[in-house]
Amino acid sequence: MSKDIIQELTAEIRSFADARDWHKFHTPKNLAMALVGEAGELVSEFQWLTPEESELTSLSPENRKAIEMELADIQIYLLRLADVLNIDVAKAVREKIQINETRF
């Protein structure tokens, strides 16, 4: 995801929250908890699948769509949390990749 796309999506998500006056709810703690909740919902889509059944070629269109929507929810909360904390996600990811390159 390019930095421009990240900025665009962040602005859209911020605008969505602004229109609903959700700032009082969008504390870092609440957003982190919501992010974990959505990650749990993603995991539940795979819970009873075998490794083979979880492969792209084995997923039904319905399963794939449900996974897609959970990934979207995760990304929305992640970008919103980064926005509230004024973290440049693209910069942080690049920095973390560089750290990982020295570790692995």
The answer to whether the CB of 9 falls within 8 A of the CB of 83 is no
Dump pLDDT digits (tens) for 11-25.
999 999 999 999 999
Q: Cα–chain-centroid distance for residue 32?
A: 11
Q: Over 80: is that where the pLDDT of 2 sits?
A: no
For the chain, give the mean pLDDT: 95
pLDDT of residue 1: 60
pTM of the model: 0.90
Q: What's the rounded mean pLDDT across residues 88-103? A: 95
Q: Strand, helix or coil at 72?
A: helix
Task: Evaluate whether the domain defined by 3-103 bears CATH number 1.20.970.10.
Answer: no
pLDDT tens per residue across span 76-86: 999 999 999 99
Distance between CA atoms of residues 65 and 39, nearest Å: 15
What is the pLDDT, as a whole number, of residue 65? 98
When pLDDT is averaged across residues 61-75 and rounded to a whole number, the result is 97
Residue linked to tokens 């539940």: 44
